Amino acid sequence: MRTRRLKSSSDPVPREHGNPKGELEAGHRTVLLHEAIEQLAIQPSDVIVDATLGGGGHARSIAKLLGKKGVLIGIDADEAAVLRAGEALKDIVTPEIHLVVANFRDISRELGKLGVTSVDKVLFDLGWSGYQLDSGRGFSFQKDEPLLMTYSEKPGPDDLTAGKIVNEWAEESIADIIFGWGEERYSRRIARMIVEHRAKNPFRTSHQLGDAIKEAVPPAYRYGRIHPATRTFQALRIAVNDELGALKSGLFGAWHHLAPNGRIAVITFHSVEDREVKRLMTAWEVAKEGKRIKRKPTLPSKDEISANPRARSAKLRVIEKTISTE
């Protein structure tokens, strides 16, 4: 784990859509930036956690709303993302800023290391950026890269990778994760192909796997709006990084440290994540521990989707912590 505390000097004029600097524009465009900032209702003295730094777009916009008494804590499992965020924030004078290389599932532990017992706002942006597509770790089926799909740049020999799943796991287990986490209608067919293919030639690269999946599905399914390997790659990524387990742990950790009247905002990009977020927020509301800011999720505007097609599946949900009077 690495913690970086930033203190800096001047603040340029903000740009639209969370792209304050050219280096962010090339690899990542922040989604639902203004909506998330508005619904978080940030105050100058808030202690705020950006649990998913990514390209630094949200973090920069948040930092500019905080005063001298405010604190911004940024977390990301990808060290490269933390370094990019550091560049994006280096000219911010206030607030106090801490950037941490860690998985947001460990938010309680990381806050403890910083001596922080209570926070006012927490943001989770569960999208993955163009930087990760270019990371060389097998996230893209259009590139010939090692089948890793890990957020860690240097996975250890015992770490789970996409290659281990497709080359070693049982057919039924592969089918289950593709169906459950990718919501892929041809999960059984794809799993069967994977097992048959690896018996002759184990999968080594993401492009090789992507091509094989395309051949495994019916011809009419190969040329739809999305590549036929999209859902399988999503499922593998979720499995490799235990994303749903991390999300649940991260949200519970954030809720535990959230001050009364504090808010948590979560931006999801597929229905599997959104269902888990909705389930937890609804449970807190039923228990009279919190209240959702809006009953239905906030969606991107037509203009944002036109400018950034990746935003089309994004959903924002926000909940405020309350104190039960019963």
Structural domains of the chain sorted by starting position, each given as residue range(s) with its CATH number in brackets: 3-131+243-321 (3.40.50.150), 137-240 (1.10.150.170)
Span 208-242, pLDDT tens digits: 999 999 999 998 888 777 889 999 999 999 999 99
- Is the pLDDT confidence value at 65 over 90? yes
Instruction: Kindly report the average pLDDT of the chain as a whole number.
Output: 87
pLDDT band at 135 (very low <50, low <70, confident <90, very high): low
Q: In sequence order, what are the beta bridge partners of 99?
A: 4, 74
Span 83-94, pLDDT tens digits: 999 999 999 988
The CA distance from 177 to 233, in Å, is 10
Span 97-119, pLDDT tens digits: 999 999 999 999 999 999 999 99
pLDDT band at 129 (very low <50, low <70, confident <90, very high): low
Q: What would the DSSP string read from start to end of 281-318? A: HHHHHHTTSEEES-SS-B---HHHHHH-GGGGG-EEEE
Q: What is the pLDDT of residue 152?
A: 72
* Cis amide linkage into residue 95, ω under 30° from 0: yes
- Is the pLDDT confidence value at 1 over 90? no
Q: What is the pLDDT of residue 4?
A: 45
% residues pLDDT > 90 (the chain): 71
- Is the pLDDT confidence value at 69 over 90? yes
Span 275-316, pLDDT tens digits: 999 999 999 999 999 999 999 999 999 999 999 888 899 999
In a 13 Å sphere around the CA of 122, the CA atoms on its Cβ side amount to 30
- Is the pLDDT confidence value at 206 over 80? yes
Bigger pLDDT: 8 or 319? 319
Q: What is the pLDDT of residue 151?
A: 76
- Is the pLDDT confidence value at 128 over 90? no
Residue 114 in tokens: 């910083």
Q: What is the pLDDT of residue 142?
A: 77
Sign of the alpha-carbon dihedral angle for 199, 155, 89, 95: positive
